[in-house]
Amino acid sequence: MSGETPDIRVLTTDDELIEAGNIFRTAMIGFPPLNEQQRGLIGKLLEPGRTLGVFVDGRLAATSDSTTSTLTLPGGARVSHAAVTHVGVLPSYTRRGIATELLNHQLRDIADRGEVVASLRASEATIYERFGYAVASSTATIEVRTGRGGLRPGIARGGPVRLIDPGQEWDVLPRIYAAHRGARAGTIDRNATWWLNQQLRAEASPAARYVAVHGPAGDENGFVRYHPIDTDAWFVSDQRTVVVDDLFAPTEDAYLGLLRFLLDLDLVDRLVFNLAPVDDPLPWLLQDRRAAQVTGVRDETWLRVVDVAAALDNRSYAGTGTVTVRIEDPVLTRNTATYAITADGAEITTAPAGLGADIATLGAALLGGTRWSDLALAGLVRVHDAAALQAADELFAVPQAPHSGIYF
């Protein structure tokens, strides 16, 4: 810290929260300052008591905040989760260890709250591993040429889909999500703060936007939000593109109904599905699978295990094997222990460890998105017993790739 003593504390006043919001935006470079509407709603856009600020010589120099929620583990159990966001250090205060002080302080605060895991979306891929975060899920971008994108014969139609009027979605969609949130590993809450942020972003954009819901009126169980891009030459273009921003389809019926709706849109040459699961079945459903191309795969959830014992014991496991894993956590040292893991759960043990890993590596493996053997190949797992590696792969295997599908 070059002789400076940082003062880290919870920000409480609107003025402090607005300053923190603008520090984050300055640090990100590409974001404009908070507008008047955002400034007026700052108390609703942030959860009270969870925005931290670092003061250096009396000046607010860095900030981070988080939101209370839950995250779904393999098997469907939901554990308490901190959604970490708005991490930023003013450019004039970088390279002084301020982010390290801030994020380690935040982790201890999250642990003191009794939360089991934390996650974030990383603007840089080289920052967060040293704080124990690792990529636990990824998303794919899938582009479909609609002229060649007919579904195979015999595929079910799904249920009814209808457009709703712009503005109605902020009442309708939260209700649908809360009632039908699925059991896929990696799913997290969409709380009132998240929905308000989505509403403000949508209303600030000049682009047309559309929302359709799946299911009978009053009993909807899925939805899609989408918008067109590059509309200046829409009437004469042969590259008319619609971007799917948010496809919530927790059942096969909802998925097929909403997919048919999108593929049947008139005047659309290309659909771009952002934030799709990496194991999305879409290409298999098309008569011409080359009509769908995966044009990108990006890291999604950076997961930090805060309470190892609770995280391991609450997820489900496959197979009948047993593995002992030594986990090292230099920040939350109470996590440092050897854990015996079976299909029945996990517990701390004094038995010798078959595998050893740091807390970030456990975050990569916890949801089943990365195999222990792949992490070992990368030098991130110490293998004391080769049989333990195979047992860990079998125990942590999941039927679906973990996926959240949102940013926060």
Phi and psi at residue 390, in whole multiples of 5°?
-65, -40
Is residue 270 within 8 Å of residue 144, measured between CB atoms?
A: yes
pLDDT tens readout for residues 48-97 = 999 999 999 999 999 999 999 999 999 999 999 999 999 999 999 999 99
SS3 category, 176: helix
Q: Residue 4 — pLDDT band, cuts 50, 70, 90?
A: low
d(CA 65, CA 53): 9
Phi and psi at residue 374, in whole multiples of 5°?
-70, -40
pLDDT tens readout for residues 191-244 = 999 999 999 999 988 889 999 999 999 999 999 999 999 999 999 999 999 999
pLDDT tens readout for residues 361-395 = 999 999 999 999 999 999 999 999 999 999 999 99
Domains of the chain: 7-115 (3.40.630.30), 139-298 (3.40.630.30), 307-396 (3.30.1050.10)
pLDDT tens readout for residues 253-276 = 999 999 999 999 999 999 999 999
Residue 76 contacts by C-beta under 8 Å, 6 or more apart in sequence? 183, 316
SS3 category, 273: strand
Full DSSP string of 289-308: GGGEEEEEEEE--EEEES-H
Q: How far is CA 76 from the centre of its chain?
A: 16
d(CA 72, CA 182): 9
Which of 90, 94, 109, 91 lies closest to 51 in space, CA to CA?
109
SS3 category, 177: helix
SS3 category, 142: strand
Full DSSP string of 57-114: TTEEEEEEEEEEEEEEPTTS-EEEEEEEEEEEE-GGG-SSSHHHHHHHHHHHHHHHTT
Q: Which residue has 């593995």 as its token pair?
A: 323
d(CA 203, CA 146): 28
Which residues are 243's β-sheet partners? 227, 272
**Residue-averaged pLDDT of the chain:** 96
**What is the percentage of the chain residues whose pLDDT exceeds 90?**
96
**What integer pLDDT is reported at residue 290 of this predicted model?**
97
Length, in residues, of the chain: 408
Which of 316, 308, 367 lies closest to 344 in space, CA to CA?
316
Residue 98 pLDDT greater than 90, yes or no: yes
Residue 183 pLDDT greater than 80, yes or no: yes
pLDDT tens readout for residues 72-85 = 999 999 999 999 99
pLDDT tens readout for residues 18-54 = 999 999 999 999 999 999 999 999 999 999 999 999 9
Which of 400, 385, 322, 320 lies closest to 355 in space, CA to CA?
385
d(CA 256, CA 252): 6
Query: Roughly what angle, to the nearest 10 degrees, separates helices 359-366 and 386-396?
Result: 50
pTM of the predicted protein model: 0.95
Copy the structure tokens of residue 229.
Answer: 């891009």
Q: Residue 6 — pLDDT band, cuts 50, 70, 90?
A: confident
d(CA 367, CA 398): 8
**What integer pLDDT is reported at residue 302 of this predicted model?**
98
Q: Read off the pLDDT of each residue in 321-338 and give the average, rounded to a whole number.
A: 98
Order of all β-strands in the sheet with 302-305? 7-10, 51-56, 59-72, 78-89, 117-120, 302-305, 134-135
Q: Residues 259, 252, 83, 49: what is their CA dihedral angle, to the nearest 10 degrees?
A: 100
Copy the structure tokens of residue 401.
Answer: 């790739």
d(CA 87, CA 25): 10
